A and B are shown apart, each in its own frame.
Chain A
Amino acid sequence: MSLVLQGVASGVVTGCVYALVALSLVIVYKATDVVNFAGGELVMIGAYLGLLLLLWFQLPYIAMFALVPVAVFAVGALFDRITLRKVGGRALAKHVDLVSFVVATIGLSYLLKGAVRVVPFTEEVRRLPPLFSGPPVFIGDVVLQRQDLAIIAVTTMIMLALWLFFERTLLGKALRATSQNARAAALVGVPVSAMRMAVWGLASAIAGIAGVLLAPKLLMTPDMGAVVMLAFAAAIIGGFSSLPGCVVGGIALGVIQNLVGIFISPQAIAVTPFFVIMLVLLFRPEGLFGESLALKKV
C-alpha cells in the first residue's frame, strides 16, 4: 500500500513538470494554431541556461531562477518575431499555411540542440543543483525530496498566476481574444502580432522554468527535450485546448506511469504515454476537457 502511495506521490511530482510543458504547448497552440515541436528544446535550453548562470556566472540560485524565464521568454519571442512572422507573412491573411510554421518549430528544435552541443561547457554530463537541498521529507509513509516539494509549489504558483493573468487582466483577456478571433481583435486595436510574440515568449518562459525544475531530477543532456512527448500526451488527455486539462492530464499521466511501473513492469513505463494517447484518441478524441469536436469553429 505504501508503495502505491509513494508511486502516486512521485507521479504527481513528475506530472507537474509534464503539466508545465503541456501548458506551454497548449498556450501557443490556442493562440496561433501552431503545434510547437521545439517545446522540449525550450525546456532543455532553460535547464542549460540555469546551469550556465550558476556555474559560469556564479549567480545565486534565486537570481538564476528569475533570469532563466526572462531569457527563454526572449528566445521564444525572437523566434516568433524573426522566423514565424517571415514565414507567415501578413498576420491577418485568411489562409495561412500552418505546415510551414510547424516545420519552422522543428527547425528551432534542431537549432537549439545544435547550439547547446557546440558549447564546450556541455560536453561533460552534469546535474543542475536542486532549488532546495536537504534531507527528504516524510509525509506519513511517503518520502519526497525537497526538490519535489519545490516542483509542486512552483507549479501551483505558475498555474495560479496564469489563471489570474488570463481571467483578471486586460492583457490576458486581449491574448484570449486574439486566440479566439484574431480579426476582431485587430479591429478593436489590439496589436495582434505583438500579442502573438508575447504568447510565444510566455509559453517559452514556462517551458524554461520546467527545465530548471526538471533538470535536478535527471542527467542533463542536449536530448532531454524528449520529455515533450510526455507533455504532448498530457495535453492530449486534456483536449489540447484547455489549460486545466493540461494540469489534470499531466498529473494523471505521471501517476499512471508510476502505477504501471509498480503493477505491470518498469519496462512498460516508456510506452505508457503512447498507449494513453491512443486510448484517448480512440475513445474520447476531444480529450477529457476539450470542447466537443463538432462544436469547433468551422
Chain B
Amino acid sequence: MLEVRGIHAAYGAVRALEDVSLSVGAGEIVCLLGANGAGKTTTLNCISGIVPVTQGRILFEGEEVTSERVDWLVARGIVQVPEGREIFPGLSTQDNLELGAWTRRRHNGRAAGLERVYELFPRLKERAAQRAGTLSGGEQQMLMIGRALMAQPRLLMFDEPSLGLSPILVQQVFRIIRRLHEEGMTILLVEQNARMALEVSARGYILENGEVKLHGEAGSLATDPQVREAYLGA
C-alpha cells in the first residue's frame, strides 16, 4: 500500500535521511524503530508531505505521492498522529474531532465517524464540550488518535504514541492500535518502546543515523542480538 523508495531529506546542510526504503502492505502493522535523532519522525514527515524529499520516491496505492501537499495527502488517506500534544487547546474536544474530518467535510458520514470515535474512546464523549487544553495527557493522546480517525485514514501513522504516558495508558494506547489493526487498518508505527512495538507489529525497520540498518519480521528482530542489546536493553 505504501512504498518508500530510497528517499533522502535534509534540514539545510544537515542530512536527515539517506536512501531510506520501506514498505507497508495493506492491513499490515509495520514499526519503525531507532534512537533519538535517527530520522524516524523525519521519515513520517516526508510521507506526510511536511518535510520535502530531496531524492527518491514515495508511492501510495501504486500512485506517486512524493512531495504532494499535506492537505491533499490527508484527503488521499495518509494521516499522521503526531508526537506530543498537537491538539487545538482552545477548542472543545468535539470541535477538535470535527476538524479531523476537515478533508471529509463535503462527504456524508461525519456523524457516524464521531459516534465511532466516541465508542472507541468513551472518555472523549464525557469530555466533548470541554476545552481540549484542559484534558489530561492521556486524554489528549486519545484525542489525537480520534481526530486522525475522523479523517477516515487508509494508512495511519503513529509518531511515538506512548511518549510521556503512564504504563497503564501505554497499554491502553497499544490496545487501541491492535484493535484498529484487527479491524483492517494499515499502520506505520514509530516507537521508542521497541519491545511493545515489536509485539504488535508484523515487521520492523531499524533506523540509525538516517539510514535503514536492519529490517525483517518482528519476531526475528526481537531475537536479533544486536537489536536486543541496542533497543531492548537485554
Which residues of A come within 8 Å of B, CB atoms? 92, 170, 173-174, 176-177, 180-181, 183-191
Task: Give min CB distance, B14 to chain A, whole Å.
Answer: 14
A-B pairs, 10 with minimum CB distance? A189-B74, A189-B103, A184-B86, A177-B88, A189-B71, A191-B71, A180-B88, A186-B70, A189-B102, A180-B90
Q: Is the C-beta of B180 less than 8 angstroms from some C-beta in chain A?
A: no
A-contacting 9-mer, from B92-100, B200-208, B212-220: B92-100
A190 to B95, CA, bound (A): 14
Q: Do A170 and B69 touch across chains, with their CB atoms under 8 A apart?
A: no
Residue pairs across A and B with CB atoms within 8 Å: the count is 68
Q: Do A184 and B91 touch across chains, with their CB atoms under 8 A apart?
A: no
Please judge, given known A-B contacts A170-B105, A176-B88, A177-B91, whether A187 and B48 are in contact too, CB under 8 Å: yes
Q: Is the C-beta of B151 less than 8 angstroms from some C-beta in chain A?
A: yes
A191 to B105, CA, bound (A): 13
A181 to B80, CA, bound (A): 15
Contacts of A173 in B (CB 8 A): 91, 95, 98-99
Contacts of A185 in B (CB 8 A): 88, 99
Please tell me which one of the listed residues B69, B90, B99 contacts residue A188 in the complex, with CB atoms under 8 A apart.
B99
Contacts of A177 in B (CB 8 A): 88, 91, 95-96, 99
Please judge, given known A-B contacts A173-B95, A173-B98, whether A186 and B71 are in contact too, CB under 8 Å: yes
Q: Is the C-beta of B196 less than 8 angstroms from some C-beta in chain A?
A: no
User: Nearest residue in B to A30 (C-beta to C-beta)?
Assistant: B90
A170 to B80, CA, bound (A): 21
Query: What is the size category of the interface that chain B forms with chain A?
Result: 20 to 34
Contacts of A180 in B (CB 8 A): 88-91
Task: Give min CB distance, A27 to chain B, whole Å.
Answer: 14
A187 to B51, CA, bound (A): 12
Residue of A186, A188, A190, A191 with most chain B CB atoms under a 10 A cut-off: A188
A184 to B50, CA, bound (A): 11
Please judge, given known A-B contacts A183-B82, A186-B70, A190-B71, whether A176 and B91 are in contact too, CB under 8 Å: yes
User: What are 12 inter-chain pairs, A to B, with CB distance below 8 A?
Assistant: A174-B99, A174-B102, A176-B88, A180-B88, A180-B91, A181-B87, A181-B88, A187-B50, A187-B79, A188-B148, A189-B151, A191-B71
Q: Is the C-beta of B147 less than 8 angstroms from some C-beta in chain A?
A: yes
Task: Give min CB distance, A198 to chain B, whole Å.
Answer: 14
Task: Give min CB distance, A109 to chain B, whole Å.
Answer: 30
Q: Do B98 and A170 touch across chains, with their CB atoms under 8 A apart?
A: yes
Interface of A: prevailing SS: helix
Please judge, given known A-B contacts A170-B99, A173-B95, A174-B102, whether A187 and B88 are in contact too, CB under 8 Å: no
Please judge, given known A-B contacts A187-B80, A188-B102, whether A181 and B71 are in contact too, CB under 8 Å: no
A185 to B91, CA, bound (A): 12
Q: Do B91 and A186 touch across chains, with their CB atoms under 8 A apart?
A: no
Which parts of B129-159 form the interface with A (CB within 8 Å)? 147-148, 151
Q: Is the C-beta of B227 less than 8 angstroms from some C-beta in chain A?
A: no
Contacts of A181 in B (CB 8 A): 86-89
A174 to B102, CA, bound (A): 8
A174 to B87, CA, bound (A): 12
Contacts of B88 in A (CB 8 A): 176-177, 180-181, 184-185
Residue of B70, B96, B151 with most chain A CB atoms under a 10 A cut-off: B70
Contacts of A187 in B (CB 8 A): 48, 50, 70, 74, 79-80, 82, 86
Q: Is the C-beta of B75 less than 8 angstroms from some C-beta in chain A?
A: yes
Q: Do B48 and A176 touch across chains, with their CB atoms under 8 A apart?
A: no
A170 to B95, CA, bound (A): 8
A177 to B101, CA, bound (A): 13
Please judge, given known A-B contacts A181-B86, A187-B70, A188-B74, whether A170 and B50 are in contact too, CB under 8 Å: no
Please judge, given known A-B contacts A181-B86, A183-B82, whether A188 and B147 are in contact too, CB under 8 Å: yes
Please judge, given known A-B contacts A92-B50, A176-B88, A176-B90, whether A184 and B102 are in contact too, CB under 8 Å: no
Q: Do B102 and A170 touch across chains, with their CB atoms under 8 A apart?
A: yes
User: Nearest residue in B to A291 (C-beta to C-beta)?
Assistant: B90
Task: Give min CB distance, B127 to chain A, whole Å.
Answer: 17
